[in-house]
Amino acid sequence: MLDIDYLEDEAFESVEEVVRQFIVKIGDQKIKIRITKDAHGHFQFVNSHYYQGSKQAESYIASLSNFPSEKIAIMNAKLQIVSSYDPADENGVWLENESF
């Protein structure tokens, strides 16, 4: 694996290394989780889908974005998925994250 510093260039606003990617299935929905690491050594996550329950005004999207370890980023990705999911909600929907 190359050092992320090799990609430093004033033309790039940011550089992130994809550290891991997972696919989880919850109900009938497959969700991809991508863990990245930036040039400062911080870890981030992004999920391919967000859950919106029928009683929620909008999907829950975590506001924290930088984590000190890969493990904590993974735990927060999981929390974002399961914290608002309600398998009994027949009208809940998974919304695709267009930024994934």
How far apart CA 74 and CA 80 sit, in angstroms, is 10
pLDDT tens track for 2-30 = 577 788 788 988 889 999 999 999 999 99
pLDDT tens track for 69-88 = 999 999 999 999 999 899 99
How long is the chain? 100
The owner of tokens 């033309």 is 11
> Does residue 1 carry a pLDDT above 60?
no
Q: What is the pLDDT of residue 76?
A: 95
How far apart CA 16 and CA 92 sit, in angstroms, is 33
CA atoms within 13 A on the CB side of 21: 8
pLDDT tens track for 42-76 = 999 999 999 999 988 777 677 778 999 999 999 99
